[in-house]
Chain A
């Protein structure tokens, strides 16, 4: 197997920009990643895309959008999962020697559709959809349980939210809240295109390990606080990277709300059980105004976190980064990536 390196990254956030169609947004984001890699589209061997038809409001959305993501006449793979999973596939294509260079792109344009209703439509029509469940609702379920089990969550949530400095959402950019979540703990919906170029030629940032994990479908069967898929995915990625979590000095963990991020800190072992919220309030491995401040748009966030992790390493913030991406519905599947400086 061959080593894999990050060649270029781009994360383009916007909101309801009338000068751009979805395809324009993707084109600009991918072009910026290629520029950052110092590469032209013709130098790409393969493309892996992550998108959701329901989010894009276009059936088989990648048929419409793939050419805007430089896929014309390319070895192309489409996934209906988070961008971090697309990254894992792209990594495998390069690592196996099948291709020399690969672009990964993921996007979501939440300004075009009714986000709460789309989120609701993701749920099971027999058991959870009739109960008005949404992704934010699941986060509310996790948050309630965390508050009940861990006193540290109530004690530190305000400080963690203040550090995150979430902008108040414009109308239409903030989800309907679910108790106990407070406005400052919720995501701000966004239009996000994330793109990363990887390849076998050495650069300053290497992809050291990748892992993935999946939980049961039924939420009632799941360990809502333990996030076992995330523990498995990050454990696999760290093992492959031959690194321990203690060696990770840059954390980019995907979570829809502040509570999801706090629980993710615990699941990857970066905070002790019950200590995730306190860690978010103080831990300098976390960049609270990084990817989260660009707003939230599934399924682009995992790739946005990977891109941000690459930038932070390139900026000298550390030597080893762990980035994760969680899928809809309710973070059932998780992908984790370990990056390191050469």
Chain B
């Protein structure tokens, strides 16, 4: 053992590292998220009744979709349920190219749609768009076209129980 300084193998301790050490890390915990009463009813209505439900805030007179238990703008509880239409306007959209395990393969068109009778927009996939030419597909959707809700045959009480498709297709 020596108390004299020991030089770094590559000379400078910073600046170069001959053998950089790294370790792999992963966060892969399982969580069970509670949707709560309002969102549970919203998802159950999709699954059991093929209905899109919102909750009406008496204070700001908005019908909020997906349904929720309080209006954050007015900060009041809301429990007046309204069924909204199954057609609406594609307010905006994007074409995603990220791939995530267990999710639909890209390219994926997702858009915010204000359904008839709703005051807020809900996000979902827009299916049936020809994506052979992504630029052309995007440009064709810029005019905020009408879309309708298409429920899946097998529903699980998830947002993916429905998607949107262009009206007239």
Interface residues of A (CB under 8 A from B): 18-20, 24, 57, 116-117, 120, 125-128, 130-134, 136-137, 140-145, 147-148, 176-180, 216-221, 224
* B59 touches A (CB below 8 Å): no
Taking a contact as CB atoms under 8 Å apart, the answer to whether B35 and A126 are in contact is: yes
**Nearest 5 CB-CB pairs, A to B?**
A140-B94, A18-B20, A179-B95, A220-B121, A145-B92
Kindly list chain B residues whose C-beta atoms are within 8 Å of the C-beta of A130.
103, 158-160
Taking a contact as CB atoms under 8 Å apart, the answer to whether B138 and A144 are in contact is: yes
B72 shortest CB reach to chain A, Å: 5
| Contact-residue bracket for chain B | 35 or more
Docked CA distance A142–B92 (Å): 8
* B91 touches A (CB below 8 Å): yes
Taking a contact as CB atoms under 8 Å apart, the answer to whether B144 and A141 are in contact is: no
Q: Known interface pairs A131-B123, A148-B142. Does A141 touch B96 (Cβ–Cβ under 8 Å)?
A: no
Interface residues of B (CB under 8 A from A): 14-17, 20, 22, 25, 27, 31, 33, 35, 39, 43, 64-66, 68, 72-73, 91-100, 103-104, 106-108, 110-112, 120-125, 134-135, 138, 141-144, 158-160
Kindly list chain B residues whose C-beta atoms are within 8 Å of the C-beta of A224.
92
Taking a contact as CB atoms under 8 Å apart, the answer to whether B16 and A132 are in contact is: no
A-B CB pair tally, cutoff 8 Å = 121
Interchain Cβ contacts under 8 Å between A and B, 10 examples: A18-B17, A19-B14, A116-B98, A126-B33, A132-B96, A136-B98, A137-B96, A176-B106, A180-B138, A218-B120
Docked CA distance A19–B13 (Å): 8
Kindly list chain A residues whose C-beta atoms are within 8 Å of the C-beta of B97.
176-178
A332 shortest CB reach to chain B, Å: 12
Extra pairs beyond A131-B103, A142-B92, A148-B92 (7, CB < 8 Å): A131-B108, A131-B125, A132-B98, A134-B96, A134-B98, A144-B94, A221-B120
Taking a contact as CB atoms under 8 Å apart, the answer to whether B92 and A141 are in contact is: yes
Kindly list chain A residues whose C-beta atoms are within 8 Å of the C-beta of B121.
220-221
Q: A20, A24, A128, A178: which contacts B94 (Cβ < 8 A)?
A: A178
B71 shortest CB reach to chain A, Å: 10
B133 shortest CB reach to chain A, Å: 11
A224 shortest CB reach to chain B, Å: 7
Docked CA distance A40–B61 (Å): 57
Docked CA distance A217–B97 (Å): 24
Docked CA distance A20–B124 (Å): 42
Taking a contact as CB atoms under 8 Å apart, the answer to whether A127 and B143 are in contact is: no
Taking a contact as CB atoms under 8 Å apart, the answer to whether B120 and A179 are in contact is: no
Q: Known interface pairs A126-B35, A132-B106, A141-B112. Does A19 touch B16 (Cβ–Cβ under 8 Å)?
A: yes
Docked CA distance A57–B73 (Å): 34
Q: Known interface pairs A132-B103, A137-B110. Does A144 touch B92 (Cβ–Cβ under 8 Å)?
A: yes
Docked CA distance A129–B106 (Å): 14
A55 shortest CB reach to chain B, Å: 12
Kindly list chain B residues whose C-beta atoms are within 8 Å of the C-beta of A131.
103, 108, 110, 123-125, 159-160
Q: Known interface pairs A141-B92, A144-B142. Does A127 touch B159 (Cβ–Cβ under 8 Å)?
A: yes
Taking a contact as CB atoms under 8 Å apart, the answer to whether B91 and A145 are in contact is: yes
B116 shortest CB reach to chain A, Å: 15
Kindly list chain B residues whose C-beta atoms are within 8 Å of the C-beta of A125.
31, 33
Docked CA distance A88–B108 (Å): 39
